[in-house]
Amino acid sequence: MKIVDASDVAALRGLYAGGWDPPRAVAERVRAIIDDVRTRGDEALVEYTRRWDYDGASLAKLRIDVPSRKNARHLVPEQIASGLELARERIAEFHARQLPQPIDYHAHDLTHYAFLARPLGAIGAYVPGGSAPLPSTVLMTVVPAKVAGVERVVVTTPPQRDGHVNPAVLYACALTEVDELYAVGGAQAIAALAYGTATIAPVDKIVGPGNVYVTEAKRQVFGAVGIDGLAGPSEVLVVADARAKPDLVAGEMVAQAEHDPLARVAAVSRDRKLVERVAALLDGEFGRRSGRDAIVAHVLDARAWLVHAADDEQVLEVIERFAPEHLSLMVDDPYDWVPKIRHAGAIFVGDETPVAAGDYIAGTNHTLPTSGAARFASGLRTADYLRTMTLVENTRARMEFDAELLAALADFEGLPAHARTARMRAKAERG
């Protein structure tokens, strides 16, 4: 594997490329699906499900009953059930600590101010199907909603070829007390969540990852509903120094490479020998140990970067320009680095914290910004399931003091009726 210099911006262009720009054909196809669901509703959902997921789909099979936790636990192996239960507990604890503290106070003149938080009324969580079930996505998207107090939590997920929802996904829905579960996937599920059908009532916000069609559908329905973001392929950047273990560095790169053929994986270090040892591992058998050899090989060949930096400033520049979804710090002094880092979806500190811990059972959220969005967006959090309102109540003294200044500003901006509402409350106008 080629090693590039941190100053070689041209060689790193692919690493730094960001934004959401799907092929025009994808956008057009998604628009047609959304329009069809808005027009034909459940009929369209059943038709698309038959075409792409389960040929026996019917209206009666769209909604799936969510079993009780007790009745669903036997559906999955003991170790999987225990892992999901531990993850749910930790996710709930971490996200409960994110709940905003109330702000309510009176200024020196007794004017009343408050900052009020309210849970969303209904959210839709999309859980992908694809090559493997993703019960962890149920936990990551639903538990924070429950912590926030969302009244109606809906999950949509593609059915398996036999028409059933994967047992682990079903248990995760039971564990998190999902209110409604629908066996429907793809852009059509996003359209149903946004605009509603006879069977699926619309929600206020849609969260969760998906393929390019799902993500483009979320982009197109934004405005009718809120969304958490536009999730792209997985990313990791490992920052390592001379004491880092090459196999751990290489391991993090391979782990993210197996997610997606469009994943981007990288490591940066000031230590040339370390970078060379990581390159040797990735070029050898180590890079082919994943069960998804073809995907990993493609990513390591076309979408992987090993970067040698001259100094800490160059390392920081790589971090900030990449703005990675996952940032792993395998350095002696990680907490000297943390205050300097502005752009990353999540930070994983030290040799004992693989990114996979955040994917599953650490308790932090694995729904993170990708494609450079960490420059302006955050990972999924409790606040995403809340909306806020401000409150102000003037005293008479405050309003009389403010009236003429308020009116002058309104007049200046060409809004005389605004100005009039201020002057009506001025002391001279009260009589």
Q: Which of 259, 326, 343, 366 is catalytic?
A: 326
Cα separation of 402 and 195, whole Å? Answer: 44
Quote the CA–CA distance of 142 and 228 in Å, as a whole number.
Answer: 13
Q: Is 258 assigned a catalytic role?
A: no
Q: Which of 43, 34, 76 is nearest to 62 (CA)?
A: 43
The active-site residue out of 216, 259, 325, 366 is 325
Name all contacts of 42-48 with Cβ < 8 Å and 24+ positions apart: 42/197, 42/198, 42/199, 42/200, 44/188, 45/184, 45/188, 45/189, 45/192, 45/197, 45/199, 45/200, 48/184, 48/186, 48/188
- Whole-angstrom CA distances from 411 to 399, 402, 429 are 17, 14, 18
| Cα distance from N-terminal residue to C-terminal residue, the chain | 84
**For residue 147, which of 383, 340, 357, 379 has the smallest C-alpha distance?**
383
Tokens of residue 231, six digits: 């999730």
On whether the CB atoms of residues 319 and 344 are closer than 8 A, the answer is: yes
Q: Are 196 and 152 in contact (CB under 8 A)?
A: no
SS3 370: coil
**Structure-derived torsion over alpha carbons of residues 237, 287, 367, 324, reported in degrees to the nearest 10:** 20
Quote the distance between the C-alpha of residue 91 and its chain's center: 14
The packing angle between helices 42-52 and 24-40, to 10°, is 130
CA–CA separation, 53 and 184 (whole Å): 8
Q: Round to whole Å and give the CA distance between 215 and 231.
A: 7
Say whether 28 is catalytic.
no
For CA atoms 182, 186, 191, 194, the dihedral sign is: positive
| Interhelix angle 135-148/78-96, nearest 10 degrees | 30
Return the closest-CA partner of residue 184 out of 122, 141, 129: 129
Contact criterion met (CB below 8 Å) for 108 and 88: no
- How is residue 340 annotated by DSSP? G
Q: Give the residue numbers marked as catalytic.
A: 325-326
